[in-house]
Structure 1
Amino acid sequence: MTVSILAYDEKTGTFGGAAMTGSLCVGGWVLRGGAESGLSASQGTAPSTLWGEDVLEKMKTGMSAGDAVAQVTDPDTGRAHRQLAAIDLHGNTGHFTGEMSVPICGALEGRGVVVSGNMLADWSVIAAVRDTYLSTKGAMPDRLMAALVAGARAGGDSRGLLSAALLVASRAATPLTLRIDRSAKPLEDLADLLAAARAEPYHGWTRVVPTLDDPYRAPDLVEPEPLPLPETGTE
């Protein structure tokens, strides 16, 4: 089972994505994007990382997620084995599920959110992910983590989960990209990694490095003391 969620919080301008699977390296395979393009999730039996990149390029120019997904997936003769979801700069969503995707497979949408899955134990898995995200209050990372946990509890993966990932981006903050590439308890490890990323000194450091809205941001520097001039002899 691979499940991904893409979301946009219009109040804060924050994009978020999360994914979990019973295979390796779900973050590297599935999640892509940022605050200048929106996010994509490319997955499936034969996932295309090219799809993930191409749909971002189209959305970056202002194309809607639905149109971008259609333009990327339609020409691909191998599309029957793949899934793609996207969320654009306005929070609109689009998705595609090929007919040869391992059942139970498909996607569900909500306001500012799209959840995709394949090899599902039941439709309740992606419904739990979507509904938990929409009903959970708080910061984007917390809502995404709650959504993943709910999906795992609703059925999870018959193979067991092996990797999980989280991606959060906005113009006002540095990107948060967390990946657990191989673990017997990837959701627990991802939660621990998120807690570490919010703790000092790492969190303090992220507040002084550049962002899209503040590209020249740097730590306040103390003006150095002027060096004494060398002494000159007199004749």
Structure 2
Amino acid sequence: MTFSILARDAETGRIGGAAATGSLCVGGWVLRGRVEAGLTASQGTAPSTLWGEAALDEMQAGSSAAQAVSRVTTPDPGRAHRQLAALDVLGGTAAFTGEASVPACASRSASGVIVSGNMLTSESVLDAVLSTFVSTTGALPDRLLAALTAGEKAGSDSRGLMSSAMLCLGPDMPPLNLRIDYSETPLGDLAGLLGRATARPYADWSYLVPTRQAPFRAPTDQDLARLNASVPTDMQGK
């Protein structure tokens, strides 16, 4: 049904996740994150958004990813139909795959990264996502997108893809929360949206808003003048 990746950039300390599925609205269903806690991906035949939030609560309170996943999944009688992955802020990872998950289903991990999936054409999808992320250099969002694209090329969700999403967080940046909720080409659309979100004028504006490290940041008159100058005339005032 879904394949997802959660990762920490060792150089910047930023964390990010991405997911794609053969159903609608993968971003709203699967990805959850908090700068002070980490990231989760909750998926499966009967995914629990409650799992994703509960695991974040656990990690924010000091639990490792492994502790969080165990504490959240163990008491749930419906866990056989669910899958959960977690990444804590130190890069620790863990995953759970219920025994009733639709094959191919599994998870893969390396230092600071975890990949999970179910209803895949084969587990080689997970191998492709993980190996591509590990071997790719550049900004975290670009590496995540490259990893998803490799998963699609390796076989993808057995139904094909219908939606995709990306969530990147860091104390020095506003959240990058991108969602393609329905498309015949969700990864291509996600790439296009990522390009727009990291280019002018949108990127100029994103540098002026508050972050965890600068919670009271606001634009100066000079910032606003520079921003307005970068906006096409037909977009000004909208």
Q: Per the shorter chain, which TM-score range?
A: over 0.9
1:138 and 2:143 matched: no
Other-structure match for 1:26: 26
Other-structure match for 2:13: 13
CA distance in 2, matches of 1:101, 1:91: 26
User: CA contact under 8 A between 2:22 and 2:159: conserved in structure 1?
Assistant: yes
Other-structure match for 1:56: 56
Q: Tell me the TM-score normalised to structure 1 length.
A: 0.93
When Rg is computed on C-alpha atoms for both structures, the one with the higher figure is 1
Q: Report how many residues are paired.
A: 222
> Residue 146 of structure 1: SS of its match in structure 2?
helix
User: CA contact under 8 A between 1:25 and 1:163: conserved in structure 2?
Assistant: yes
CA distance in 1, matches of 2:158, 2:144: 22
CA distance in 2, matches of 1:90, 1:101: 29
Other-structure match for 1:186: 186
CA distance in 1, matches of 2:113, 2:218: 34
Q: How does 1:133-212 map to 2 (within 5 A)?
A: 133-212=133-212
CA distance in 1, matches of 2:6, 2:87: 7
User: CA contact under 8 A between 1:42 and 1:48: conserved in structure 2?
Assistant: yes
Which segments of 5 or more consecutive residues in structure 1 lack a partner in the other structure?
223-235
Structure 1 stretches (4+) deviating beyond 6 angstroms? none
Other-structure match for 1:126: 126
Identity of aligned residues (%): 61
Other-structure match for 1:233: none
Other-structure match for 2:47: 47
CA distance in 2, matches of 1:159, 1:103: 13
CA distance in 2, matches of 1:19, 1:68: 21
Other-structure match for 2:85: 85
What's the CA shift string for 1:69-108, capped at 9, x where partnerless?
0000000000000000000011000110000000110100
CA distance in 2, matches of 1:20, 1:130: 14
Q: How does 1:204-223 map to 2 (within 5 A)?
A: 204-221=204-221
CA distance in 2, matches of 1:119, 1:160: 10
User: CA contact under 8 A between 2:3 and 2:157: conserved in structure 1?
Assistant: no
User: CA contact under 8 A between 1:62 and 1:89: conserved in structure 2?
Assistant: no
User: CA contact under 8 A between 1:15 and 1:34: conserved in structure 2?
Assistant: no
Counterpart amino acid of 1:101? S
Counterpart amino acid of 2:67? D
Q: Tell me the TM-score normalised to structure 2 length.
A: 0.92
CA distance in 1, matches of 2:189, 2:221: 36
Which segments of 5 or more consecutive residues in structure 2 lack a partner in the other structure?
223-238
Determine which structure has the larger helix proportion and give its number: 2
What's the CA shift string for 1:184-203, capped at 9, x where partnerless?
00000000000110121111
Q: Structure 1 stretch 212-221 or stretch 180-189: which is displaced more? A: 212-221
Counterpart amino acid of 1:23? S
Counterpart amino acid of 1:49? T
Counterpart amino acid of 1:36? E
What's the CA shift string for 1:118-176, capped at 9, x where partnerless?
01111110010011000000000000000000000000123220000011000001110
